[in-house]
Chain A
Amino acid sequence: MKIPLLTRKPAGNVLMVALFVMAAMGIILASYLTMIRGQQLNTSRSEAWNRSLAIAENGIEEGLAHLNLNGSVSNVLGTQGWTAAGNKYTLHRDFSEGYFEASITVGLTNAVISSIGYVPAPGALTSAAGAMMAAAGNTATKYITRTIEVTCERITPFSKAIAAKDSIDLNGKNVVVDSYDSYNSGSSTNDGSGVAWGQYNAAKRRDNGDIAVIAGFKDDISISKAEVRGHAATGPGGSVDLSGKGVIGDNAWCDSNSSKGAKPGWTSSDANFTLPSVTLPFPFNSGVNPLGKTTIGGETYDYVFDTGDYAVGNLKGNVLIRGKARIIVSGKIDFDDDPKKAEGIELDDTARVEIYADCKDVTMTGKKHSKKTTSNILGINPGGNTTNLTLYGTDKCTKIELKSLDIFAGIIYAPNAAITLKTGSAKYYHANFHGAVSGKSVKLEKNASFHYDENIANCGPSTYVIASWTEK
């Protein structure tokens, strides 16, 4: 018997299903990976974009530091890695995450710093000539770049009439703060004595007598009865006491609102500045002693300082400054206010003095100046250039008093000292302060007038600060 057998046909159903499922899962997986890669690239690119700004600002920071360190003499800017090309100076600096290319262009009154930050674009290592050349090392990296340009202006520490760490007290009657510019005939008057600078003239006064306090407490600034032709600013949380008939504002406001408080927008509570401690000058070539008793023009002076650096114990008596002198005082500055003794400091018109009070107390009084056309007044540098007399107080200096004088023309910077302009009897003294003052606290007694010389802001040590910031 022959029984035929049927062979079973091969079936591929399971294989097809498995292939279909695997294909579907593969598509899903590929989609996942593509999406994740897209997100990662997006995130990385954004991070690189933001990082390039930080690197560009690195270039701005370095440019600003270089400008402030070496910018006072323009021809030394081509140092410390900076390359000079005319009035433009460039620097390239590498970092592990990229590099910047910065440039400084120095103008007459300002400087422009430009910086480009470069950060490798994520996943963008490309070949200049295909994969083979890339393998041979001929590669080019694409970068994400951002460009910043800032304009820098010079400022001096004396950009305000009165600046204090803790408080300003202008509570007395008839206290006035205003401003003038001794090198602008429109806001000062030359006295005809042959000097280049002008004198304060109330008819030409301006309203830049700004006062400011760093601290932020109630009534940091007390001007209850004073007239401030300028802005008043305290630190955050601080306030200005205007409980009396005080007035703050511009000339027009003060002239027409003599007892109506502050002009809107002329007071604020966001003062943000520092008054750094004074360091003694270095190098300082001391060793020369001032001349002792010397008679000049019929007047006998206890000390005469010519051009040079002096370190003295006490500064007192009848003092004449004839040259460009720097004087460090370690003992005491104390001038007797008895008019008969004629003690005080007198400056020649061409003299310039920086006094460093490295001592606790300073008392300065006015004296009659025999060599001045203004000899009938008691003063310290009366009629003189305010930038020719600067009194610095180190942290040891905690008290400065000016008293018995008609005029003080100069600058006082003593961030740890309580500074008082004592007026005495209005019958004898006028108590006019021309210049600028910075201290821990500043007090003007009644009848005192403070005239800020705006020219001070153009002189003395200056630093560059950023005035405008632009991303290109």
Chain B
Amino acid sequence: MFIKPIRAHATAGVTLVELMFAIPIGMIAMVAVLSFASYTGRSFAALLNYADLEQTSRNALDTMTSKIRGTSALTGFTTNSLTFKDADGKSLAFTYDTAKKTLVWTKDSVSTTLLTGCDQLDFDIYQRCSTNGTFDQYPTSLQASNTKVVQVSWLCSRPMIFSRLNTQTAQSSKIVLRNQ
């Protein structure tokens, strides 16, 4: 008598009960994995944005402080722009373009973009005297020639992938004109 050997897979099968357990568990696992991947991706994108914003803002602030400290005097002021007489007698300007959302510094007709994605930027100017009991200075009543201290504040953002929310960073700093 020849008995046909029984192949293991040929006899394999799942019962309805097994399927009823396996499918939900599999779906839960899939959702967990996808959620984790999505969360990781968004977090990673946000971190990249924050890192980029932080680095750009820091570089912009370092550049501005270095340049403004050495200028001779402030010659022009609006809340969107500052124009200085540099130590070499030439003009040095920082201009915020509200339409392009950029901060640009210009010297010798050469413009360099310091900030992009800049939603808000304000310049304020102060004179040399400190107010009583605080570390603040007197505002100069918008008079550039009396300016000793310049304050710059900005808010920058980057769009997030898979999200309408932006990542944002804010900076504010007071810079002293050393030659005033």
Chain A residues engaging chain B, CB cutoff 8 angstroms: 1, 3-6, 8, 28, 31-32, 35, 38-39, 42-43, 46, 49-50, 216, 235-237, 265, 268, 270-272, 466, 468-471
* B positions within 8 Å CB-CB of A: 1, 3, 5, 7-8, 40, 44, 47-48, 51, 54-55, 58-59, 62, 65-66, 69-70, 87, 127-129, 131, 138, 140, 145-146, 148, 178-179
What are the nearest 10 A-B pairs in CB distance?
A: A469-B178, A236-B138, A270-B127, A236-B129, A39-B51, A46-B58, A272-B128, A4-B5, A270-B146, A272-B129
Is the CB–CB distance between B129 and A35 below 8 Å? no
Contacts of A468 in B (CB 8 A): 87, 179
Quote the shortest CB–CB distance from B40 to chain A (angstroms): 6
Q: How many residue pairs between the two chains, A and B, have CB atoms under 8 Å in the bound complex?
A: 64
CA distance A1 to B44 in the complex (A): 65
**Interchain CB contact under 8 A, A470 and B3:** no
Interfacial chain A residues near B3, Cβ < 8 Å: 1, 3
How far in angstroms is the closest Cβ of chain B from A34? 11
In the assembly, what is the distance between CA of A237 and CA of B137, in Å? 12
CB distance from B177 to the nearest CB of A (A): 9
A470, B178: Cα distance in complex, Å: 8
Q: Are B87 and A470 in contact, CB atoms less than 8 angstroms apart?
A: yes
Given the contacts A43-B54, A236-B127, A469 and B40 also touching, CB distance less than 8 Å:
no
9 further contact pairs, Cβ within 8 A, besides A235-B129, A236-B131, A469-B178: A1-B3, A32-B47, A35-B47, A216-B129, A236-B127, A237-B138, A468-B179, A470-B70, A471-B66
Q: Would you give 11 A-B contacts (Cβ < 8 Å), ordered by A?
A: A6-B7, A8-B8, A32-B47, A39-B55, A42-B55, A42-B58, A46-B59, A236-B138, A270-B127, A270-B129, A469-B69
Residues of B with C-beta under 8 A to A6: 5, 7-8
B132 to chain A, nearest CB (A): 10
**Whole-angstrom CA separation of A124 from B1 in the bound complex:** 83
Partner of B51, one of A3, A4, A35, A466: A35
Smallest distance from the beta carbon of A16 to chain B beta carbons, Å?
A: 16
Q: How far is the CB of B83 from chain A (nearest CB, A)?
A: 18
Given A235-B129, A236-B129: A31 in contact with B44 (beta carbons within 8 A) = yes
Check A471–B129 contact: CB distance below 8 A: no
Q: Which residues of A contact B69 (CB under 8 A)?
A: 469, 471
Q: A28 — which chain B residues lie within 8 A by C-beta?
A: 40, 44
For B8, list chain A residues within 8 Å (CB): 6, 8
From known contacts A1-B3, A8-B8, A32-B47, infer whether A268 and B146 are also in contact, taking CB-CB under 8 Å. Answer: yes
Closest residue on chain A to residue B69 by CB atoms: A471
Residues of B within 8 A of A46 (CB): 58-59, 62
B66 touches A469 (CB 8 A): no
Instruction: Please state if B179 and A43 are interface contacts (CB–CB under 8 Å).
Output: no
Residues of chain A contacted by B127 (CB below 8 angstroms): 236, 270
Do B48 and A35 touch across chains, with their CB atoms under 8 A apart? yes
Q: Are A5 and B5 in contact (CB under 8 A)?
A: yes
A48–chain B nearest beta-carbon distance, Å: 11
Given contacts A32-B44, A235-B129, is CB(A50)–CB(B5) below 8 Å?
no
B70 touches A471 (CB 8 A): yes
A43-B58 contact, Cβ under 8 Å, with A270-B146, A471-B70: yes
Closest A residue, CB atoms, query B55: A42
Is the Cβ of B70 less than 8 Å from the Cβ of A469?
A: yes
Could you say which residues of chain A place their CB within 8 Å of the CB of B178?
A: 466, 469
A234 to chain B, nearest CB (A): 11
CA distance A76 to B17 in the complex (A): 100
Alpha-carbon gap, A46 to B54, bound state (A): 11
Closest residue of chain B to A469, judged by CB? Answer: B178
B35 to chain A, nearest CB (A): 15
State A32–B44 Cα separation when bound (angstroms).
8
Q: Enumerate chain B residues within 8 angstroms of A236, measured Cβ to Cβ.
A: 127, 129, 131, 138
Candidates A49, A270, A471; contact of B128 at CB < 8 Å: A270
Q: Report the separation of the CA atoms of residues A236 and B51 in the bound assembly, to the nearest whole angstrom.
A: 42
Q: Are B62 and A50 interface neighbours, CB within 8 A?
A: yes
Chain A residues within an 8 Å CB radius of B58: 42-43, 46
B33 to chain A, nearest CB (A): 9
Query: A369 CB to closest chain B CB, in angstroms?
Result: 44
Q: How far is it, in angstroms, between the C-alpha of A470 and the C-alpha of B177 when the chains are bound?
A: 11
